[in-house]
Amino acid sequence: MEERPKALLLKFPGTNCDSETARALEAAGFVAEVLPISRANETVLEAAHLVVFSGGFSYGDYVMAGRLAQLEAERKLGDSLMRFRDNGGYLLGICNGFQILTKLGFLPRGSLINNTSGRFICRWAGLKREVSGNPFLKGLPESFELPVAHAEGRFIAPDGDAQDYLGRGLVALTYTSDINGSSSAIAGLADETGRVLGLMPHPERFLWASNHYDPDWRGDGSEWGWGYMMFKSIHDTIAAEIAGHSP
């Protein structure tokens, strides 16, 4: 029997999208485990192929989104997360997870700050895939939609401008319209290796076609939504690697 890829989802106090994200991972073929950070240590990543930071409000996001989770992750995991990435592991951060991965320094430098409106925003957003071949995105069309829900989704680079990241292929996803003031309309970033992806939109909320707001949305004609395709893409990538490594 073939080995199913393992996804480990790290849950902080206030993380709240863990159930549906684990559900989406399982639907795509992963064995998904949700691990509260209180039980994490430097060895917990060893069996995983994919480490996921899901959406929510870690520690309430009271100081700034993701900061206290970053400090706690550094305390609990030490440099095992970096070793995990360097050894070929994949990292996915969704919404608050994107904010945490950015604070942890796994993604191009910058910060996710308050939306220009100063408000939380829950809506669907048109997205453009800016890269080809990214293992998380290769099963997706160039344009698609996902729901967003965040107060701090405006990406800014150190000099304020993230144009440079576009040129370097680090911008994985952009919004098709300005929804939060994000520099270069950035919705998702990848690292140089492509094995780390952070995005503000919520793929786990568009698992099924029936999640779409428009009853006439048909997508690719299947029962699945675009979010499923994202989890499926990374699953298939990892499954192929596992199969390739098997004797």
Residues 6+ apart with CB under 8 A from 76: 37, 40, 41, 42
Q: Is residue 235 annotated as a catalytic residue, yes or no? A: no
The rounded distance, in Å, linking the Cα atoms of 97 and 70 is: 10
Active-site residue, from 17, 49, 72, 95: 95
Single residue of 215, 221, 244, 247 touching other proteins by CB under 8 A: 215
Q: Letter for the amino acid at 228?
A: Y
Q: How far is the CB of 117 from other proteins (least distance, A)?
A: 9
- The residues that bridge with 11 in the sheet, in sequence order, are 36
Active-site residue, from 17, 49, 150, 202: 202
CA atoms within 13 A on the CB side of 153: 31
196-199 and 90-94 as β-strands: parallel, antiparallel, unpaired? parallel
Does 163 sit near other proteins (CB under 8 A)?
no
Single residue of 3, 47, 60, 79 touching other proteins by CB under 8 A: 60
* Residue 226, SS3 per DSSP: helix
- The residues that bridge with 189 in the sheet, in sequence order, are 171, 198
Q: Letter for the amino acid at 31?
A: V
State in Å, rounded, how far the first CA of the chain is from the last one. Answer: 13
Single residue of 25, 68, 77, 234 touching other proteins by CB under 8 A: 68
Q: Which is nearer to other proteins, 123 or 245 (CB)?
A: 123
The rounded distance, in Å, linking the Cα atoms of 139 and 129 is: 11
Q: Is residue 122 annotated as a catalytic residue, yes or no? A: no
Does 62 sit near other proteins (CB under 8 A)?
yes
Selected range binding other proteins among 45-53, 84-92, 112-120, 129-137, rule: CB under 8 A:
112-120
| Angle, CA 173 vertex, CA 169 and CA 178 arms, to 5° | 120
Does 105 sit near other proteins (CB under 8 A)?
no
Does 174 sit near other proteins (CB under 8 A)?
no
Q: How far is the CB of 114 from other proteins (least distance, A)?
A: 8
Binding region for other proteins (CB under 8 A): 13-14, 16-17, 19-20, 23-24, 36, 38-39, 55-57, 59-60, 62-64, 67-68, 71-72, 75, 109-111, 113, 119-124, 147, 149, 156-158, 160, 202, 204-205, 207, 210-211, 213-216
Residues forming the active site: 95, 202, 204
